[in-house]
Amino acid sequence: MQEFSRYLYRAPFVVSGTGPVIVDGAVLTEDGLVVAVGPYVDLKDADAKQEDYEGHVLTPSLVNCHAHLELSHLAMLSENSPVSGDMTGWIRSLLAARAENSDQEIVHDAALMALARLYGAGCRAVADIGNMLDSRLLGDGFKTEVFFFLELLGLCGESEESALALLSGIDADVRCAAHAPYSSGPRLIRALKERAQAGKGLLTMHVAESTQEIEFLRTGGGPFRNFLAERGVEVDLFTSPGMGSVKYLDSLGVLDSQTLCVHGVHVEDEEISLLAARGATVCLCPGSNRFMGVGLAPVEKMLAQNIPLVLGTDSLASNPRLSLWQEMQVLREDHPGIAPEAVFAMASFNGARLLGLGERLGTVVPGVSSSLLAVRCPAKNEADVFEHLTSAGADIQLEWLE
């Protein structure tokens, strides 16, 4: 039994996630939960062991809404120079590297290392996309909770049929995901949505990441057509919908508040309105997008229409850093006009709510987990706190409170 089950953490600033920054704030915890939060002066007489975090800000832990832990052993791909938009070229290199580096022990160890890195960078939960069923166990024993999604691909003909057959045999408690509108066919996407709905869960997929994707959906041609044909997909059997990715997904009836569109770079104004009308969430991956050279998501327009936005690191194969602090920094560099408070919410509260963890993570209020962060912060007044948190990047210093 612990000597103290009650702790009082004091810091110059506390970010509760639900109200203004608390100056000279404190958080009282007991048995793994937050009991009270407020100005230190109101809590100082609590019967608890006190720990002072001078020079820090206390914040909720972070939530990563898109990663591929399974690809962590392919970090060499993001050590090279950035890709400059050639999505199919990068996928070719990825598949080749994956074939050459298939030792399962190495794959597994690299995934665990990546998970440890996420934890070290303050991430308490991660939506992880993988192609191997065993990867659903990666989070066992880790404090960072892994929400694993088994990703299915198959665009048309035989490839879509086999994916559908595979899907029908997967246990109901395994979450599944589509890959992308250019690689998972319409029947497969619908079946995955029905399955997600039955389990009251999310449908997640890569959406509108590159111009090549849009070209393929609009015209049926371009680099993706050649790539898919090269992979043995009977691409002639795919009827291109003649529209962008979001419009296409909406035509399939799969866009709603339980749909997570990852990347969302190449979306037209009309599609932004569609996302807003359906209540779908967009996961921005600014670091990966920058490395891949696919362009910038229309974040300001999405925010203007109140589209829920969350952040994802994507994998080490397309992003040299696995840090949501880095994602926040890149997002702010790319979109300097966005309020830093909104950016921090994307990495914390919005992600927690999306994964159904809003009662436990993403805020500092009574009843949530006491797994909070003490983040080193040179801010002198409360107006600078979010500015610092969202622009410090991956080298930010932090420790876990519990």
Q: Which residues bind Zn ion (CB under 5 A)?
A: 314
CB 70 within 8 A of CB 107: yes
Using Cβ positions, the residue closest to Zn ion within the complex turns out to be 314
| Alpha helices (H) along 13-170 | 40-43, 76-79, 87-100, 104-120, 157-168
State in angstroms the smallest separation of the CB of 299 from Zn ion.
18
SS3 content of the chain, % helix, strand, coil (to 5): 40, 20, 40
State in angstroms the smallest separation of the CB of 319 from Zn ion.
10
Taking alpha carbons only, the member of 146, 150, 124, 108 closest to residue 60 is 124
Nearer to Zn ion, 128 or 314 (CB): 314
- CA dist 331 and 144 (Å) reads 23
State in angstroms the smallest separation of the CB of 213 from Zn ion.
13
| Alpha helices (H) along 184-298 | 186-198, 211-219, 223-230, 245-251, 269-278, 286-292
Nearer to Zn ion, 314 or 327 (CB): 314
What angle (nearest 5°) sits at the alpha carbon of residue 85, between those of residues 286 and 211? Answer: 90
State in angstroms the smallest separation of the CB of 262 from Zn ion.
6
Nearer to Zn ion, 215 or 314 (CB): 314
Nearer to Zn ion, 271 or 314 (CB): 314
- Paired tokens of 389: 């948190």
CB 116 within 8 A of CB 109: no
State in angstroms the smallest separation of the CB of 381 from Zn ion.
38
Nearer to Zn ion, 204 or 363 (CB): 204
User: Given the structure tokens 């960078």, which residue do they identify?
Assistant: 121
Nearer to Zn ion, 70 or 314 (CB): 314
State in angstroms the smallest separation of the CB of 322 from Zn ion.
13
DSSP E strands in 270-383: the ranges are: 281-284, 309-311, 373-376
Nearer to Zn ion, 156 or 261 (CB): 261
State in angstroms the smallest separation of the CB of 116 from Zn ion.
20
